[in-house]
A and B are shown apart, each in its own frame.
Chain A
Amino acid sequence: MSKDNYDHVETSMNEELSAIEKTVLSDYKYGFVSNIEADEAPKGLSEDTIRFISAKKHEPEWMLEWRLKAYRQWLRMEKDEPRWANLKYTAINYQDIIYYSAPKQKSKPKSLDEVDPELRLTFEKLGISLSEQKRLTGVAVDAVIDSVSIATSFKEQLSELGIIFCSMSEAIREHPELVKKYLSTVVPPTDNYFAALNSAVFSDGSFCFVPKGVRCPMELSTYFRINAENTGQFERTLIIAEAGSYVSYLEGCTAPMRDENQLHAAVVELIAMDNAEIKYSTVQNWYPGDKNGNGGIYNFVTKRGICQGLRSKISWTQVETGSAITWKYPSVILKGDHSVGEFYSVAVTNNHQQADTGTKMQHIGKNTKSRIVSKGISAGYSNNSYRGLVHVGRKAENARNFSQCDSLLLGDKCGAHTFPYIEVKNKSAVVEHEATTSKIGEDQIFYCNQRGIDTETAVALIVNGFAKEVMNQLPMEFAVEAQKLLAISLEGSVG
């Protein structure tokens, strides 16, 4: 970010403070349920469910076969449902979930103006306009509700540059050669329990292909929303950046308030060729459950990128404030020589939320670099764990890693945990890990009070200061939103 931009953020931060205050007292504001008729699969999971999904999406035979194979794999993995994370939750009943729910629309709209008005309203409420005329910020949006992509904006403009940005379903139909070539090359269905499940039942997601030498001129963005009851969302995202290209992608997530837990198990794959760069940002604000820990989203996500080419770069930035349970480790495989992997994370847990999140940096190529900055903020009765792996392989000459993991505790009923794993098999590596734990001091609050700043605002200021290094990585359109989210998530946790 240039100096000018930086100053701008600083100013907008100030201006946003009163907004933070206003929102501090509001509850989860994305918790509305839209009254949209849905086309659903029956509850439960079987080969029939998968055939149903595949048929609904008019998928080619190879895709159905691929799904069924993943499903059989998943059945064999029953004993492999991960238990190692620092998370406590009641077992998920996989037969009690609806695996496909699509908003009823007569046919796929040809233009955005044809989108069901109720749907458009839903997105307006989320602050996302699907109308290209109203969209001034230069962000192309793909909107996914429950399981299905609703609309993708700025498509024409992007396709002039050869950039494909569409829903995954559309990509399977329109660009099967690309999907076949890249799908599951980074996260195979056998990778883990939830990846196998996702491969079997994924319903939609975003697909992005940036051709050689093209710098994508705008931020690409997907908004995910779970709307229907008893529904799981299983999106699948695939981004390919060909040699010398650049793309910045953002995703936002919200869900209505429901008493029952809902499952979200996504898979995201990124592929960066020679000199390509992918920047992937997430602001995750799934419904976290109520103050007593009832309801909320179970968020089990596999995100992984591969720096396939020379001097390629993948950067993950995440602001995690939602979900009852978060299980998520956006990773980078540093295969190309001189490739760079980054992970910037702010994870906030309040009330009874639990997060076990971090990253894996696999150094394989020579002269690879990775950087990890993780900021965990725990309040209420929540538990917040950082779990990260830095692996330097035998042939990864001159690998460099620096990790910084800081925890901030608000109150004495919550927990902050740090579990770094560092494996080094090459003597030329330099790996450094630092971690600290601190609290918001009474003296800091009093100092702010003495200057006329009330306690809630003081906490917001200190938390934003704590998280700044990560927030600065977010594209500007998201930075302000993310700051507001931090304040809302910590509402009532101090004082």
Chain B
Amino acid sequence: MSFVENYKEHFEQLLSVKDKKELSGIRENAFNAFAEFGIPTSKHEEWKYTRIGALFNRPYRFLLDPSHAVTVADIDAFRLPGHQEANELIFVNGIFSSALSKIISKGLAVVPLEEAAADSRYKQLVAAHFGNSGHYLKDGINALNTALVNGAVFVQLTKGMAVGLPVYIYNINDARKENIFSQPRSLIHVTENAQLQIVETYFTLGVEESFTNQVMEIVVEENALLEYYKIQNDAGNANQVSTTHIRQAGRSYVHTVTVSLNGGIVRNNLNMILEAERCESHLYGLYFQKGKSHIDNHTVVDNVKPNCFSNELYKGVMNDESTGVFNGKIFVRQQAQKTNAFQSNKNILLSDDASVNTKPQLEIFADDVKCSHGCTVGQLDEEALFYLQSRGIGQKMARSLLIQAFASDILEHVKLAAIRKHVEHLVAERLEF
């Protein structure tokens, strides 16, 4: 049985079991797209350096049923600092669990996506934004998530509300008994003039393999502000394709930091669609890999309208046999005059077997723009190392200090103090070679 047939069974089961008329059209289109595109191979330009075909050749438990064996105590072991003062949304094996989640902020609505799609208050929003990432990610993997959407959630922050407390999102795979394939899905709506901070993380229980294929779509309305932090430090056999697709309305401000410290094959898609004038976006990323982990950060900044600003800085440190990929694309459409878009990617290779592939790209159709990109690959600065050593600092320590300095450029952009300290601590731990 080919993998398409395999998933067709799930798909049909899903269609027959539940009555989700509102989504079934989108779902069906997505399944056809999945059947047509298939799982991306390295011949697909966007997947040139990241091969996920093999991940589909092994057996997984793929659950449509929301029941699971994860307890509060299981999660406690992984909670992020500051969780006492945070809303917590929990997905288990890709399905939202309202029982385990905690919503304490006023003005924050969390509704199952199927219900939101039928609810007159949210209906139009869901229709307008659900599946928009598929216009940018033309591959089977994105389509697969949409085709099999199940246990997804719709989150809305009321107009003008500044949520004082951040929203922590945990994606948990229970691989204690068998390999798990999960597909978390969410649609987040930050209404006009509202402010939201999101921290997202991933962990796998048990020692079996997991594969998470996640899609999160976020809409940031006029004058709204979003901070989004992604922290990836899962097991070496936890693989994932994680898509964050953000649409920005006018004068909105989005600030993202992606910190990837461990995992199996990890692919992040971060799309910033600047759909109206005077949007501002900041994209920061740190990937610090060990073992045989493979990290691929794919970003798109699409400037559709004039007068937008974006700044992107991704830094990578590759150790052991790890591989890093950076693929950043800046589009400036014909209408998007006076765009300022900057992109930079810097990499350090620490070991003989580590490697890095980087593709910073500009596609520009407007003439009155300021755009630049740059990338570097190199080692730690020998002169700086020598300078530190000449002041009596041992080589090991000197190296560790320099890497910390390299990483701090990114970490300082984590504005939630508790989370910043947490990731700084994780990086420092890693530096005790």
Q: Do chains A and B touch in the complex (CB under 8 A)?
A: yes
Give the interface of A toward B (CB within 8 A).
84, 392, 394, 407, 409-439
Q: Is the CB of A437 within 8 A of B361?
A: no
Q: Is the CB of B359 within 8 A of A419?
A: yes
A392 contacts across to B, CB distance below 8 A: 377
Q: Is the CB of B373 within 8 A of A435?
A: yes
Number of interface residues of B (CB under 8 A): 35
Contact of A416 with B334 at beta-carbon distance under 8 Å, contacts A411-B367, A434-B372 already known = no
B350 contacts across to A, CB distance below 8 A: 427
Give the one of B354, B362, B378 with max A CB within 10 A: B362
A421 contacts across to B, CB distance below 8 A: 357, 359
Q: Is the CB of A415 within 8 A of B369?
A: no
Q: Tell me if B363 counts as interface (CB < 8 A to partner A).
A: yes
B365 contacts across to A, CB distance below 8 A: 412, 414-415
Contact of A424 among B45, B355, B362 (CB under 8 A): B355
Q: Tell me if B370 counts as interface (CB < 8 A to partner A).
A: yes
Rounded to whole angstroms, the CA-CA distance of A407 and B364 in the bound complex is 10
- Closest Cβ of chain B: how far from A453's Cβ, in Å? 21
Contact of A435 with B374 at beta-carbon distance under 8 Å, contacts A423-B355, A424-B357, A425-B355 already known = yes
Judged by DSSP, the binding face of B is: strand
Contact of A429 among B49, B349, B372, B375 (CB under 8 A): B349
Contact of A437 with B357 at beta-carbon distance under 8 Å, contacts A412-B368, A427-B351, A429-B349 already known = no
Rounded to whole angstroms, the CA-CA distance of A434 and B373 in the bound complex is 6
B367 contacts across to A, CB distance below 8 A: 409-412, 414, 439
Contact of A412 with B377 at beta-carbon distance under 8 Å, contacts A424-B355, A437-B369 already known = no
Give the interface of B toward A (CB within 8 A).
45, 49, 334, 337, 347, 349-352, 354-379
6 pairs across A/B with beta carbons < 8 Å? A416-B364, A418-B361, A422-B375, A424-B349, A433-B360, A435-B362
Q: Is the CB of B349 within 8 A of A426?
A: yes
Rounded to whole angstroms, the CA-CA distance of A426 and B357 in the bound complex is 11
Rounded to whole angstroms, the CA-CA distance of A433 and B351 in the bound complex is 22
- Other than the given A419-B361, A433-B376, 12 more pairs (CB < 8 A) read A412-B337, A412-B366, A416-B364, A418-B360, A422-B357, A429-B349, A430-B378, A432-B374, A433-B374, A435-B372, A437-B371, A438-B370
Q: Is the CB of B377 within 8 A of A431?
A: yes
Contact of A424 with B356 at beta-carbon distance under 8 Å, contacts A407-B364, A410-B367, A433-B374 already known = yes
Q: Is the CB of B363 within 8 A of A427?
A: no
Contact of A437 with B349 at beta-carbon distance under 8 Å, contacts A412-B334, A415-B363 already known = no
B378 contacts across to A, CB distance below 8 A: 429-432
Give the one of B350, B351, B374 with max A CB within 10 A: B374
Q: Closest 7 interchain pairs by CB?
A: A427-B349, A409-B367, A425-B355, A431-B377, A439-B367, A418-B362, A430-B378
Contact of A427 among B354, B362, B366, B373 (CB under 8 A): B354
B45 contacts across to A, CB distance below 8 A: 84
A420 contacts across to B, CB distance below 8 A: 358-361, 375
